[in-house]
Amino acid sequence: MILIVAEHSNGKLSKSTAEMVTAARESGREGPITILVLGAGIEAVANEASKLAEQVLVGDVASLAQYDATVWAAAVTQIAREGEAHTILIGGSRSGREYSPRVAVKLDAPLLEDVISLKSAGSALQAQRYTFLARVTETVEADAPVIVVTVKPGIFTPAQPEMNGEQYDVELELPQPRVAVTGKSVEKTSRVPLAEADVVVTGGRGVGSPENFATLVEGLADSIGGGVGATRAVVDAGWRPYSEQVGQTGKTVQPKAYIALGVSGAVQHLSGMGKSKFIVAINKDAEAPIFKVADYGIVGDVNEIVPALIEQARNK
Amino acid sequence: MKILTLIRQVPDAEARVRVQGSAVDLEGATLVMDGMDEYGVEQALRLKEAGAGTEVIALAVGPKRNEDALRTALAMGADRAIHVETNVALDAIALSKLVAQIASQEDASLILAGGQQADWDSQALGAATAERLGWPQLTWTNGLEVQGDKLVGRHDVDEGNESFEVSLPAVVTTQQGLNDPRYPTLPNIMKAKKKELRKDTLEQYGVQPLARVVGAEIQARARLGKVIDGKDAQAAAAQLLELLRSEAKVLA
């Protein structure tokens, strides 16, 4: 069986779960697709998941309300063993990429990490992934009775919710969490989630100040219905929350259009947005590296061009 | 408390990456200690200086050239280094088996590893090593202190960040913001030459790759690279909006 571990937040199934279903189908691996939903109070999520697969396993346990890598790894490993899963798909979120190596070690399985394609090659499983700060696409291969895969979000087309899968409750033997969480800061945004937005407007230090960021970057994003992104420098300066950061240590985005305002374009930033379909850069520094990857570059002052963009977009 | 800090040698961020045949060719590229690993070395040194550590050991697994990265760690202040010299490319899960063995032999209580290095773009080594040792792990850490037998710090998670407390031993992966790594001074570079750099072979650890790279290509998307004149803001804005409608097709 192919086991997919559902990703969800705030009582909703994440798009990445439907993306993993597509990856599982494209993998050419045999057997039914089963989705495992872990958490507390996850009835609605399990119902959503049952539209995507023949079978949904539900581990609804109060102690799973707080994510812990060791607990998650134990739960997934137990279900993979009981169901004799040969392929385990886990989302390439921060948490997914954190507990998946533990699952691989427990099952003595290879791990194909953060994959963007998946196919069978004889008895082996072959995947593509980005390396060298997303400058290279590597093809990796593993051949083993059990293989663990993490799937990069935002790459595979989400499967349509058209199934009517059966739900089964599972009993889990869980270890005690190892890490005590003593404080939490959850960053919320009322806009489209960055990873799901068709258009992302990102601001760098070149926008000048937190106030300018709000006026220009948020203003443009709102006028064209986009998500808001920020560079590492802007987040480090405390202008914007970490949840908006795009790049090696932030989120990876691949929107239809990426509009970079006052962004210089360090390699670490490019690795998070370089695969966007259409890149626009507005920067007064004509030498900024961002122009090398841009489809359209405007060398000019963001303080003049962006207000004009906002005004014209609103008047349309 | 002994601290093990893991080092990878990667191309400099500005270096050109080439592909030869089906593999990335680093011949002629400027290679440096990975930036994320530098935060690990720095943090290990700071913990030792604060009295929480007794010895800082740097470990690298890879070709001969990795000696340079280890010498950098020694020059920053690491006490000694271990180099497992091999040309075999190990995936993170296989490599964790080796790292766990060395951590046990050395009786290390804390392992620091880069969050995601600029060569293999992997985040798996820290967590896989922690699992092999039966230790907890904290990933994407940007604040870290030792208080008695506990680690206290802050790290990034899916939807924001968390403060944590965990008992030692543990594995911690680093990221930008954890600290500001020091530069090796000339006297320390000289001193580093006399520090122990032990050479091991891969065979000593009985580790085989579990996954292998069978192809590599540079897939730079061809960009249009067109320039819009920004002198007239209104005209530039109109032209860009039109392109977003007609070419990118993201606006109605």
pLDDT in tens, B22-70: 889 988 889 999 999 999 999 999 999 999 999 999 999 999 999 999 9
Please answer whether residues B86 and B94 qualify as being in contact, where contact means their C-beta atoms are separated by less than 8 angstroms: no
Query: In the numeric block, which tokens belong to residue A135?
Result: 């400058």
**Residue A23 belongs to some domain of the structure:** yes
Residue A232 annotated in ligand binding: yes
**Residue A182 belongs to some domain of the structure:** no
A275/A143 same-domain check: no
Q: What number of CA atoms fall less than 13 Å from residue B158's CA on the CB side? A: 19
All residues of chain B having their beta carbon less than 8 Å from the beta carbon of residue A181 are 162-164
H/E/C letters for each residue in B67-124?
HHHHHHHHHHCCCEEEEEECCCCCCHHHHHHHHHHHHHHHCEEEEEEECCCCCCCCCH
Contact A298 B227 (CB under 8 A): yes
Task: Give the residue from A276, A230, A304 showing the smallest Cα distance to B224.
Answer: A276
Is the pLDDT assigned to residue B220 strictly greater than 80? no
CATH number of the CATH domain containing A163: 3.40.50.620
Pick the last residue of a domain from A169, A203, A226. Answer: A169
Is the pLDDT assigned to residue A193 strictly greater than 80? no
CA A288 to chain B, closest CA, distance in angstroms equals 13
CA B221 to chain A, closest CA, distance in angstroms equals 8
Domain that holds residue A95: 2-169
A18/A97 same-domain check: yes
**Residue A174 belongs to some domain of the structure:** no
A115/A231 same-domain check: no
Residue A263 annotated in ligand binding: yes
The answer to whether residue B108 neighbours chain A at the CB level (below 8 Å) is no
A107/A212 same-domain check: no
A111/A22 same-domain check: yes
**Residue A48 belongs to some domain of the structure:** yes
A74/A202 same-domain check: no
pLDDT digits (tens, 9 = 90+) for A139-189: 999 999 999 999 998 889 999 999 999 999 999 999 999 999 999 987 766
**Residue A74 belongs to some domain of the structure:** yes
Q: What are phi and psi of B47, to 5 degrees?
A: -65, -40
Contact A104 B121 (CB under 8 A): no
CATH number of the CATH domain containing A271: 3.40.50.1220
Helix H or strand E segment including A1: none
Total CB pairs under 8 A between chain A and B: 262
**Res B16: pLDDT:** 81
Return all residues near B45 (Cβ < 8 A) that are at least 6 apart. Answer: B56, B76, B77, B78, B182
A279/A160 same-domain check: no
The answer to whether residue B250 neighbours chain A at the CB level (below 8 Å) is yes
Q: Which residue of A has its CA nearest to B236?
A: A305
Please answer whether residues B137 and A71 qualify as being in contact, where contact means their C-beta atoms are separated by less than 8 angstroms: no
Tell me the C-alpha to C-alpha distance, in Å, between residue B226 and each of A176, A284, A297, B243: 57, 16, 6, 11
Return all residues near B73 (Cβ < 8 A) that are at least 6 apart. Answer: B5, B7, B33, B41, B58, B81
All residues of chain B having their beta carbon less than 8 Å from the beta carbon of residue A104 are 93, 124, 128
**Res B249: pLDDT:** 86
**Residue A123 belongs to some domain of the structure:** yes
**Residue A117 belongs to some domain of the structure:** yes
Interface test with B, best of A66, A298, A299 (most B CBs within 10 A): A298
Q: Which residue has the higher pLDDT, A282 or B161?
A: A282
Contact B211 A112 (CB under 8 A): yes
pLDDT digits (tens, 9 = 90+) for A111-135: 999 999 999 999 999 999 999 988 8
Q: Which of residues 167-226 of B touch A (CB under 8 A)?
A: 167, 175-177, 210-221, 223-226
**Residue A63 belongs to some domain of the structure:** yes
Q: How far apart are CA A255 and CA A273, in angstroms?
A: 8
A10/A119 same-domain check: yes
A148/A62 same-domain check: yes
Which member of B24, B167, B223 has the closest CB to residue A279? Answer: B223
A16/A143 same-domain check: yes
Poorest-confidence range of A242-246, B72-76, B87-91, B119-123? A242-246
All residues of chain A having their beta carbon less than 8 Å from the beta carbon of residue B160 are 184-187, 241-243
CA B194 to chain A, closest CA, distance in angstroms equals 33
CA A28 to chain B, closest CA, distance in angstroms equals 18
Residue A249 annotated in ligand binding: yes
> In a 3-state reduction of DSSP, which class is residue B140?
strand
Q: How far apart are CA A250 and CA A252, in angstroms?
A: 7
Return all residues near A26 (Cβ < 8 A) that are at least 6 apart. Answer: A117, A118, A119, A156
pLDDT digits (tens, 9 = 90+) for A261-274: 999 999 889 989 99
Pick the last residue of a domain from A169, A185, A218. Answer: A169
Q: Which residue of A has its CA nearest to B21?
A: A138
Which member of A98, A102, A299 has the closest CB to residue B227? Answer: A299
Q: Provide the β-strand partners of residue A44.
A: none
Please answer whether residues A1 and A18 qualify as being in contact, where contact means their C-beta atoms are separated by less than 8 angstroms: no
A18/A80 same-domain check: yes
Is the pLDDT assigned to residue A87 strictly greater than 80? yes
All residues of chain A having their beta carbon less than 8 Å from the beta carbon of residue B121 are 114, 129-134, 271
All residues of chain B having their beta carbon less than 8 Å from the beta carbon of residue A313 are 241, 251
Considering its fold, how many domains does chain A have in total?
Answer: 2
Which residue in this structure is represented by tokens 């935002």?
A154
Task: Give the residue from A270, A261, A295, A215 showing the smallest Cα distance to B239.
Answer: A295
Which member of B213, B214, B241 has the closest CB to residue A309? Answer: B241
- Which residue ranges form the domains of chain B, and what is each CATH number? 2-205 (3.40.50.620), 222-252 (no CATH)
Query: Which residue type occupies B7?
Result: I
A163/A69 same-domain check: yes
**Res B21: pLDDT:** 85
Is the pLDDT assigned to residue B217 strictly greater than 80? yes
